[in-house]
Amino acid sequence: MPNPATSPVVGNISAATSSNPHGPDPDEERRIVAAARAGDAAAYEVLVVRHGPRLYAMLLHLANGDADLAAEYTQEAFVRAWTNLDRFAGESAFYTWLYRLARNRALDLIARKRPRCVDLVTLSPTAPGAGPVDALVADDHRRAVREALAQLDADQRELLLLREFEGLDYLAIAARLDVPEGTVKSRLNRARAALRAILETRIRAEDLS
């Protein structure tokens, strides 16, 4: 079984998969998945190398920055995908299917663990050329957002991460989670309201201190 953290890219097919900055070509991906379903371990390794870092990064944020948990969830997802490839009907992108395998297990386990701060600096980067005071303000803002995200339910945090970290639109999030687009919009609105309420509570508490 290929290891997403340590395996080298295997086979000639890998040379063509790492050069496309806009994501994998759908036809090419279908050919690779078909080869993997037929038992070609080298083809499956291409999928591991291609999608492993992206899945790990998302699970790392879902796991509140716990690298060991994220690595465990990533490895487990690829093992489950390898043993269940015959169930992949190709109706969605391979990564979408893989993500669904990972998230259901991860969210269940994450919910049982004590939250830690989410390292999500990309939500509010410091502007280029900002002075030291601006940088301090930006750092404080990012820290507040991380702490607020850690207080959300895992499913609400996931929605915000998919929207803000991965930059997915509503339709893409709906496909990833296999729910209607309208459900994504309503849930995302609730998640944003919950995040805003936590941040406003923090601001009021600081004003009173």
Could you tell me which residue, 62 or 120, shows the higher pLDDT? 62
φ/ψ (deg, to 5) at 93: -65, 150
pTM of the predicted model as reported, rounded to 2 decimal places: 0.62
Q: For residue 140, what are its two tokens?
A: 């404080």
Count of other CB atoms within 10 angstroms of residue 125 = 10
Q: pLDDT at position 113, please?
A: 57
Q: Do the domains 12-110 and 121-208 sit in the same CATH topology, yes or no?
A: no
pLDDT band at 35 (very low <50, low <70, confident <90, very high): very high
Domain 12-110 has CATH 1.10.1740.10: yes
Report whether pLDDT(191) > 70: yes
Q: Which burial class, exposed, middle or buried, applies to 209 when counting CB atoms under 10 A from its CB (0-12, 13-18, 19+)?
A: exposed
Q: What is the pLDDT of residues 68-106, one digit of tens each?
A: 888 988 999 999 999 999 988 888 899 999 998 888 777
Mean pLDDT over all residues of the chain? 75
Fold of 121-208: Arc Repressor Mutant, subunit A (1.10.10)
Alpha-carbon distance of 124 to 139, in angstroms, equals: 9
Instruction: Pull the structure tokens for residue 178.
Output: 């296999």
Nearest to 74 by CA among 84, 63, 85, 89: 63
Output the pLDDT for position 186: 94
**Domain parsing of the chain, residue ranges:** 12-110, 121-208
Lowest mean per-residue pLDDT among 12-21, 57-66, 141-150, 197-206: 12-21
**Tell me, what's the pLDDT at 81?**
93
CA distance 73 to 55: 9
Q: What are phi and psi of 205, to 5 degrees?
A: -65, -40
Q: Which residue has the tokens 């209607």?
A: 180
